[in-house]
């Protein structure tokens, strides 16, 4: 494609402002290019390829197994299972900005289905698949007794227990499509939510209502990245298996990466085109340094809570430290992870690229959205190498069942 064809393709996915942001130009310049009023410089074609569009053509490889990606976010769980030879056949994500980042990083063919709101998708319209993946949001469950439902002549079971929550959409698809396995990811607090009743309902539905062999474990992303990030991972298999969490290979915390490993090197070895850095050495832009007013406010806020015996306050890190959990609200003040710049200097926020590294994304992962959107997306994502390790021990059990003579499960639809 020539530069104009690439530009037209990019503008089908992104706004003029977003394309301009990715290319480091003014939106008016993009509009002039679009109407052929001016000609883009030679570097623009390659910049569009590298920053906005997936590289290459959709793969024709059928994959060793197929999977669907629900509540997909920016595709962190997908990356982990693609590394194990899987092929994504269906994606659902409702946030339009997350969809833009997802589309910029995954080049799917015409057979792949991308749905926005999974609550509006009928389970019959979901393609058959071997593995269901879902980083579903936690919502409160309203659990009513079965005896009361019977007395009222109303149905019970998973549909009744979880209707009105997004977990219901996971359950109804599992019930209809009967995948060989699933992986669900959520915050650690899911285990204790509502005095444990929410988690108990989820396990009851998966194990007793849907008939899957279920395993769960809280894993800290700190084993793989310099961030304390505990998440509950729920794995299920349709047929009996000897899957065990003992097969996980979790690096020791003492030898795990520290913050210095994800910070911009500022020695000229990183891509000069990255929007967060500038100059011959790739120095982090001053806009990421906290203003005197904000830094003063955060210090006063922390001091006030220390006097009350509370632990609230900012999280200041050096290259030798491990960070707190990156949250989706990081864009507000960056207070949970502030990078020290030495005595007498205001600290700075992480850049979006550093946030990507903190979550275990490779440097070739494209970030086509604004800093605010990027912070939200990485704060809501998964630690990719942690999910990849779970995928590594899951897939052999999946493939063993795929190779075995076919037999129907006890709750086959």
pLDDT in tens, 196-236: 888 999 999 999 999 999 999 999 999 999 999 999 999 99
pLDDT score at 311: 67
Pairing assessment for the beta strands 283-284 and 213-220 based on DSSP bridges: unpaired
Assigned CATH class of 65-250+382-403: alpha beta
Which has more confidence, 151 or 315? 315
pLDDT, residue 293, reads: 96
323 versus 192: which is more confidently predicted?
Answer: 323
Whether 345 shows a pLDDT value over 80: the answer reads yes
Task: Please list the active-site residues.
Answer: 138
Q: How much is the pLDDT for 141?
A: 54
> Among residues of the chain, what percentage have pLDDT more than 70?
90
- List, for residues 382-407, the tens digit of each pLDDT value: 999 999 999 999 999 999 988 876 55
| H or E, element range at 133 | strand 131-134
Q: What CATH number does domain 259-379 carry, 2.60.40.10, 3.90.120.10, 3.40.640.10, 1.20.930.40?
A: 3.90.120.10
Element (H, E) at 213: strand 213-220
Greater model confidence, 296 or 140: 296
Residue 43: predicted pLDDT:
83
CA dist., res. 289 & res. 63, Å (int)? 45
* Residue 181 near residue 398 (C-beta atoms within 8 A): yes
Query: Each residue of 62-111: pLDDT tens digit?
Result: 889 999 999 999 999 999 999 999 999 999 999 999 999 999 999 887 78
pLDDT score at 413: 39
One-character DSSP codes across 292-324: HHHHHHHHHHHHHHHHTT---S--EE-TTS-B-
Q: Where are the domains of the chain?
A: 3-51, 65-250+382-403, 259-379
Residue 407, classed as helix, strand or coil, is: coil
Cα separation values, 179 from 72, 92, 173, 218, 236, Å: 18, 17, 9, 23, 10
Q: 363: helix, coil or strand?
A: coil
Report whether 317 contacts 340 (CB < 8 A). Answer: yes
DSSP class of residue 138 equals P
Confidence at 161, pLDDT banded by 50, 70, 90: confident
**If pLDDT is split at 50, 70 and 90, which confidence band does 312 have?**
confident
pLDDT at 276 > cutoff 80: yes
Question: Is residue 143 scored above 70 in pLDDT?
Answer: no
Sequence-ordered list of residues with C-beta below 8 angstroms from that of 124, at least 6 positions apart, any chain? 176
Secondary structure (DSSP) of 118-166: GGGS-GGGSPP-SEEEE-PPP-------HHHHHHTT---SHHHHHTTST
pLDDT attached to residue 387: 98
Region of poorest pLDDT, from 117-131, 155-169, 222-236: 155-169
The residues near 313 (Cβ < 8 Å, ≥ 6 apart) are 298, 301, 302, 305, 306, 335
């Amino acid at each position: 494609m020539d530069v104009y064809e690439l530009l037209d393709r990019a503008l089908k996915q992104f706004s003029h402002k977003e394309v301009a942001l990715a290319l480091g130009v003014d939106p008016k310049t993009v509009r002039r290019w679009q109407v052929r009023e001016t000609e883009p410089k030679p570097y623009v074609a390659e910049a569009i390829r590298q920053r906005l569009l997936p590289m290459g053509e959709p793969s024709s490889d059928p994959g060793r197994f197929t999977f669907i990606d629900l509540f997909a976010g920016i595709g962190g769980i997908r990356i982990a299972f693609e590394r194990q030879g899987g092929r994504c056949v269906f994606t659902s994500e409702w946030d339009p900005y997350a969809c833009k980042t997802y589309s910029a990083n995954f080049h799917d063919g015409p057979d792949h289905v991308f749905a926005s709101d999974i609550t509006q998708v009928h389970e019959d319209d979901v393609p058959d698949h071997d593995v269901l993946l879902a980083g579903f949001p936690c919502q409160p469950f309203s659990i009513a007794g079965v005896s009361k439902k019977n007395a009222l002549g109303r149905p019970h079971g998973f549909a009744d227990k979880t209707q009105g929550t997004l977990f219901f959409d996971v359950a109804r698809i599992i019930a209809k499509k009967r995948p060989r396995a699933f992986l669900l990811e959520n915050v650690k607090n899911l285990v204790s939510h509502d005095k444990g009743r929410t988690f108990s309902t989820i396990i009851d539905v998966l194990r007793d209502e849907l008939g899957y062999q279920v395993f769960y474990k809280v894993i800290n992303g700190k084993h793989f990245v310099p961030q304390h990030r505990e998440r509950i991972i729920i794995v299920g298999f349709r047929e009996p298996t000897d899957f065990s969490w003992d097969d996980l290979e979790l690096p020791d915390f003492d030898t795990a990466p520290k913050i210095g490993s994800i910070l911009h090197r500022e020695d000229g070895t990183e891509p000069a085109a990255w929007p967060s850095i500038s100059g011959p050495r790739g120095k982090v832009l001053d806009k990421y340094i906290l203003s005197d007013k904000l830094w003063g406010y955060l210090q006063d806020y922390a001091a006030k809570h220390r006097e009350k015996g509370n632990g609230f306050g900012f999280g200041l890190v050096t290259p030798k430290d491990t960070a707190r959990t990156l949250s989706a609200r990081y864009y507000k003040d960056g207070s949970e992870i502030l990078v020290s710049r030495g005595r007498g200097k205001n600290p700075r926020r992480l850049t979006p690229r550093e946030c990507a590294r903190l979550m275990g994304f490779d440097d070739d992962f494209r970030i086509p959205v604004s800093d605010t959107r990027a912070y939200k997306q990485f704060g809501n994502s998964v630690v990719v190498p942690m999910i990849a390790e779970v995928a590594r021990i899951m897939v052999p059990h999946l493939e063993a069942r795929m190779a075995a003579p076919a037999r129907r499960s006890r709750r086959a639809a």
